[in-house]
């Protein structure tokens, strides 16, 4: 749902990434705390003090979410699960597992580790606030900050325990269903449906809040509800996709020998000789040895004045091939789908062992094939 984000640093070997949406929410929350919450808790302090508290509160939120996700990640490592890293986004954070847990016990332990970490942080911060309170007869700014962060971690723990897959509570529910029934896929489907239903219910609650005059709270509840619902439905679809893809490789789904254009072809020739004849929206650009150099989209022509088309080559407007933009024909299709989801790419160039272009894999073709197979085979989501 979110892009890979910007890598900030590594801790215990895990990459910590930041999605731009987190920055937006951080600014809004910091401003709200500085102008509303902290002045209401303790009047009469300088405005600069409230803004400093708001900044440190946002940093505390960042640290709290990172520690919550580290709880998941460290326990996952104990069970031998590989982690792609931790990404913070507007709704919190996500520790990204390479693979599904291999047992219900592992799933339960990994899912419970995050809320347990947040509960522990809430307790420690509450104790620190009480200690700060003993230093003065009046409430100190540090005490306000510690009390706020203690409450935040408590809310973070409780919210994540909602039985809405893929929240922690939903994963705990899946672990229990998996342990009782012995069927991982059935447990995932049921947990996903419950999560989707709960997300819809939260959105409905948000609408009632809006009708009751609580516009800000209501809009946020609606957003969270639809986020949970879409994430739950995506988890169910991901399960169905993995089941249907099985052990199939990229070669089975790619378009072999796609229409290509040479690096030196002018935009004028590209339009007349290629686009009008084949009518695709994107084309691989290859060198003289058939090795891919980039992808040129028809939409990129608008960035160049028409009179400059005869003197501008396709490579000048093409998107260069980046690391991770190519795959081998024998790569499992499930891994290619994961790569598309993580990177946000809708197309991957398929290259053979000599680095020459062998085909083109598009997300649309993959999804169309999966949808057709689901209809034919009656696959449940």
CB–CB of 195/187 below 8 Å?
no
- φ/ψ (deg, to 5) at 323: -60, 130
Q: Which H or E element spans position 165?
A: none
Of the residues 15, 69, 319, 322, which is catalytic?
69
Burial-class residue 95 by CB neighbours within 10 Å (0-12, 13-18, 19+): buried
> In whole angstroms, how far apart are CA 371 and each of 209, 233, 342, 365, 380?
37, 15, 21, 10, 11
Distance CA 31, CA 23 (A): 12
Strands 92-97 and 255-256: unpaired
Is 69 a known active-site residue? yes
CB–CB of 293/286 below 8 Å?
yes
CB–CB of 102/178 below 8 Å?
no
Cα 247-99-253 angle, rounded to 5 deg: 30
CB–CB of 219/210 below 8 Å?
yes
Residues known to be catalytic = 69
């Amino acid at each position: 749902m979110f892009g890979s984000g910007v890598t900030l640093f590594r801790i215990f070997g895990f990459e910590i990434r930041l999605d731009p949406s987190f920055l937006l929410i951080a600014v809004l929350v910091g401003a709200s705390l500085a102008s509303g919450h902290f002045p209401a808790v303790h009047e009469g302090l300088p405005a600069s003090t409230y803004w400093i508290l708001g900044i440190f509160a946002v940093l505390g939120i960042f640290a709290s979410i990172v520690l919550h996700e580290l709880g998941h990640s460290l326990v996952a490592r104990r069970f031998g699960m590989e982690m792609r890293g931790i990404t913070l986004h507007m709704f919190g954070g996500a520790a990204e597992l390479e693979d599904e847990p291999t047992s219900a016990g592992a799933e339960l332990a990994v899912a419970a580790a995050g809320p347990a970490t947040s509960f522990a942080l809430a307790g420690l911060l509450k104790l620190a606030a009480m200690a700060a309170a003993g230093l003065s007869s009046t409430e100190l700014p540090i005490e306000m900050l510690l009390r706020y962060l203690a409450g935040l971690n408590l809310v973070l723990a409780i919210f994540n325990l909602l039985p809405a897959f893929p929240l922690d509570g939903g994963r705990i529910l899946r672990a229990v269903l998996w342990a009782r029934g012995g069927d991982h896929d059935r447990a995932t489907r049921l947990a996903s449906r419950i999560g989707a239903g709960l997300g819809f219910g939260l959105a409905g609650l948000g609408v009632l809040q809006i009708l009751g005059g609580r516009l800000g709270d209501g809009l946020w509840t609606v957003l969270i509800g639809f986020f949970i619902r879409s994430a739950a439905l995506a988890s169910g679809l991901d399960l169905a996709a993995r089941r249907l893809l099985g052990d199939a490789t990229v070669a089975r789904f790619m378009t072999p020998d796609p229409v290509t254009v040479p690096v030196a072809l002018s935009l004028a020739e590209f339009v007349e000789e290629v686009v009008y004849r084949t009518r695709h929206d994107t084309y691989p650009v290859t060198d003289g040895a058939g090795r891919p150099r980039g992808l040129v989209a028809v939409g990129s022509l608008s960035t160049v004045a028409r009179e400059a088309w005869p003197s501008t080559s396709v490579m000048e407007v093409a998107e260069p091939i980046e690391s991770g933009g190519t795959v081998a024909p024998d790569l499992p299709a499930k891994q290619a789908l994961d790569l598309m989801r993580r990177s946000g790419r809708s197309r991957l160039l398929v290259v053979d062992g000599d680095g020459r272009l062998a085909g083109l894999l598009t997300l649309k073709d993959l999804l169309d094939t999966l949808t057709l197979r689901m209809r034919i085979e009656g696959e449940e989501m």
